Amino acid sequence: MSELIPSYLETDFYTLKQRLNDLLANSDTFKDYNYSGSNISLLIDMLSYLSELNTFYINKLSKNMFLDTTDVYETT
């Protein structure tokens, strides 16, 4: 099984979904599974959405921690 190299710039929904599909397809447990029309596709979609949302909030929080890069006036 090949290792997935972390890519911190590709955190959109479709990239995360593709990376999860690749990860599960390369595993021994879900090797011959059809991901396009199954219930696991719903779980992959939800996990990709939550990962993208979490990345957005972390980026927003880290951006507003410093005075030079803040967007919101109330946080300064």
Is the pLDDT confidence value at 29 over 70?
yes
Q: Per the domain annotation, does 48 fall within a domain?
A: yes
- The answer on pLDDT for 66 being more than 70 is yes
31 phi/psi in degrees, rounded to 5:
-65, -45
Of residues 71 and 61, more confidence is placed in 61
Q: Is residue 4 part of a domain?
A: no
Q: Which domain holds residue 39?
A: 13-75
Report the pLDDT value the prediction gives residue 1, as an integer from 0 to 100. Answer: 47
Q: Residue 3 domain-assigned? A: no
In a domain, 46, yes or no: yes
**pLDDT tens column, 39-63:** 888 999 999 999 999 998 988 888 8
In a domain, 55, yes or no: yes
* 27, part of any domain: yes
Give the DSSP H/E element, type plus range, for residue 13. Answer: helix 13-25
Residue 66 lies in a domain: yes
